[in-house]
Structure 1
Amino acid sequence: MAEAEDKDVKARKEREKDELYALDISGVEWQSAPGTEEHEERVEIAYLPGGAVAMRSSLDPDTVLRYTEGEWRAFVLGARDGEFDLEPAPGNGGPSAE
């Protein structure tokens, strides 16, 4: 029975994603962090219906990622909790491996 429920959840999530990416977002209002200039590289987000969020880079505005309300909430909470505070790898601004 649990396997059938897992399949149902997976199918529902796929439908949600399909619907999310089918939305016309040509008229959304993109927002970026306060204090960033128009010419600076920055992350921009737009709020979509149902609590969903779209995100893009100002340098590549045609590539847009879309997140359901649950996915966005999980990302924001994870970021606040430090889940994405990665240590730089050696050679990428981190300490050199000796």
Structure 2
Amino acid sequence: MNQVVRWRKSSYSGGGDGNTCVEIADLDIHIGVRDSKAPDRATLTFTAAAFLPFVHSLKETRH
């Protein structure tokens, strides 16, 4: 059985058509991350435990 993956865009998508961001999806026990401008390219996957520190580190680098 194939899993239906529902990708969600970041709330920081910006103006215009909103495709200059990343998308995330719940993948069973992992979280997928992909570039919204190139959705058919490689996808990063994180465990739930690793995803939160990843997001926090991105927020810290923005400042």
User: Structure 1 length as normaliser, TM-score?
Assistant: 0.46
Aligned pair 1:60/2:48, yes or no? no
Q: Which runs of 4+ in 1 moved over 6 A?
A: none
Distance in 1 (alpha carbons) for counterparts of 2:18 and 2:62: 26
Q: Decide which structure has the larger Cα Rg and report it.
A: 1
Give the number of the structure whose residues are more often strand, by fraction. Answer: 2
Q: Which runs of 5+ in 1 are unaligned?
A: 1-23, 87-98
Aligned-partner SS, 2:39:
strand
TM-score by length of 2: 0.65
CA RMSD of the aligned region, Å? 2.6
- The structure carrying a bigger helix percent of its residues is 1
1:47-70 CA-to-partner distances (Å, cap 9, x unmatched) read 1222x2100011111221111112
For 1:1-98, what aligned pairs fall within 5 Å after superposition? 27-34=4-11, 36=13, 38=17, 40-50=19-29, 52-62=30-40, 63-80=42-59, 82=60, 84-85=61-62
How much identity, in percent, do the aligned residues show? 25
Alpha-carbon contact 2:24-2:31 (below 8 Å) kept: yes
Change (3 A) 1:39 1:67: same
Residue ranges of structure 2 left out of the alignment (5+ in a row): none
